[in-house]
Structure 1
Amino acid sequence: MAPKITVIGTGYLGATHAAAMAELGFEVLGLDVVPEKVAMLSEGRVPMFEPGLEELLHKHVAGLEGSSGRLRFTTSYEEAGEFGDVHFVCVNTPQKHGEYACDMSYVDTAFASLAPHLHRPALVVGKSTVPVGSAERLAARLTELAPAGEGAELAWNPEFLREGFAVKDTLHPDRIVVGVASEQAEKQLREIYATPIAEGSPFVVTDYPTAELVKASANSFLATKISYINAMAEICEAAGGDVVKLAEALGHDDRIGKKFLRAGIGFGGGCLPKDLRAFMARAGELGVDQALTFLREIDSINMRRRGHMVELAREAVGGGFLGKRVSVLGATFKPDSDDVRDSPALNVAGQIHLQGGQVTVFDPKGMDNARRVFPTLRYEDSALEAVRGAHVVLHLTEWGEFRELDPAELGEVVAERRILDGRNTLDADRWREAGWTFRAMGRPRA
């Protein structure tokens, strides 16, 4: 008989995982302590933009017309404990205020709330990104608090979701990593992930610490690659080189690869920056902080890119922002998302605004979230209206629709035909042919 699954925490990670587990054929109960979120998900609606997720919810949420009925939501830990054989913990682990370290309060609360309701053998699977050593501590806490005692076992199964591709990454992962303490836990997880394993997804079995470290080290490696090409962009600008051609040449080396070698204003979002800093903080606690000293420079390079874009914009408008209209195309930290957490695009827009610029922003999906973060910026509902009267246009989030914009059409409404490409994805020749002064980070001026 197939195990029944609960998902504790129904944010970006949890809602996606719950819907995906239902798609794989399991009976699923999602839990969240926020009643409004439970009500929204129960109606098949999601509180964030993620391609394909709402369609998957409609396919499986109980009570919706034509659904499989395999997915329900609740606010009751008691109901979750009675229902589930396998419990996935998917709550948030934000950065502590004023510190680099990870805030484990949501994870600790989830375990403390669930464990007293585990009266029979169960597997609790952590998916949240946590500092190495957390799983061992939580396993002991679980045994202590659960009426089932040692029958309540822990496994760690880190997530590797990319915003904009979360549904695909859950149903067809490029790898499945499980940190387990018994063959029984491994067997249960192989059963749950039987479909992607059969399709060829590698299944990597480790101990707790290694499973925790895989996520931290993967994000750190990715951040390093992004900041490396951005450091090369700085050198290219000083030496008159072209970072796009440089990246192309590097990418042909199989040892390096082409992905994430596009220079620009750097990375952001709710995961990569805070995970990088939490990894450094944990290394310090373990007494091996020197092993990750280089990550401080990676973080510094990344943040420096934002300031550099502000300087390029200031130079473009003649040395000062007062009385100048600046158009910003993009507010989210990446395309195919409405997430503006630690968004480089919105950070640049905010800095220019604080320095006296009249900033107008357009983003295909992130406008509402951007308004909540920076209500004093001006927002328009189209790229054409956003650039109207602009003295400089900044392309800061690489949405596909921005690559399709007509430079001639936009040129008719701007005050000055100047554009700065902060993502190195626009066709420079096309914009220059339409009479624009075009500049991209790490590339020659002409």
Structure 2
Amino acid sequence: MKKLLLLSALIATAGSAEKIKFEYSDPAKNQSADIIGTAVIDVVTGDVVVSPSDDLFIVPNQSAVLGINADKYQVDVGDSISVDWAVAYGENCVGTVEDGSATGWAGSLNSGIGSHSKVVTINSLPATLRITCDNYMGYTATTTSSKDLVISEAEQQVVEGPSISYLRAGGSSNNLTVTAAGNVTVSWSVSNATSCTASSSPLNSDWNHTFNPTSSSSKAVNITDSVTLTLTCGSATRDVNIILDDSIPSQCSAAVYPPNLNNKTYSYAALKDGNEFGATANGNILLDIKNTEFAAITFTSMGANTSRRLNFVTPPTTHNKTLYTTLSISECPGDFNTQTTACVKTIVAAQNPNVFITTKSGQPSTYCKLDPNKAYYLNLVNKQVPYSNDDPICQNASHTRCAAFFSEGEVQ
């Protein structure tokens, strides 16, 4: 096949304008163009070289080639998108909005060969953007080609509200009964929440705050009265009841209580991070005692031939100091009678006294002598003389509660 070379640059000497004609079997497809100078025929190759007077494009017999896309296909109403379109063999391109509503697309579009872009704002959904171009054909019949771009509504993320799988006290999700005041482990499981509110009735200062439930999953709550603990996360809420049943053993009587004072029972292990009496010398017990009550701390004595000591000191500055504290160890709460108790001791915390406790025989009479592995009460009251009619008093007489603070140690 011989080649016809069309040059857009002037390469021949000036001459009168002639035409080069392209004739097809279908005359409607015929084309012609003015040329400058003369045509040159290469007698070896048969190529014909002419110089058109204008740029000449030999138009193929095909429809316009169109492409259209966007940087986002799923949007919210009011969002703007970047729409790109590409054109080849087309002219007189127009943008229309076939469905929905959009700003910035309808009207004349760049029809040049290549890619183009513009920003379009979507006003209602779904929206169909259409590009329509005349087919750039080499004959007189004029037809069009079009391409659609469909923009739909973005899928809405369903955000579930906060939920509480459980709220438990001491492993119970309903009612927990404790026989002594002290720390109870409260645990929870919460989903889809970063802020929850802990509340209580009656008020418990350990369960009265707002917190992030994902930062931990449990908390020690000091129980001094029967209480309902509530956890609220958004519209989700859970309750758990803790019942303090500090009723006294059947062999005991409230008649031994110091006059006009109420019994407040605690567990030694609960006050000492879960460690029973005699288990470890690590840790302290810090206990605020109201002047309207005495503290009765339940514990089990050590095994045979064992001695321990309790060392009392002044409490941290955040707690009120005692003036006098009377201690007794008895099988009954509130018993300070020297005839029925294992011992009765007067404590002046500022003097850092030790109270010695033993299950060994032959220890001095200053020791509190206990039977091995037996249940006892460690009784404390803010009075020098427990059975006097005087009210308990702290070092500062205006204080209504003061703290006993002591540690446990080994005795060789």
Asked if these proteins are the same fold (TM beyond 0.5), I'd say: no
Please identify which structure carries the higher strand content: 2
Whose helix proportion is higher, 1 or 2? Answer: 1
Structure whose alpha-carbon radius of gyration is higher: 2
> Smaller-chain TM-score range?
under 0.3
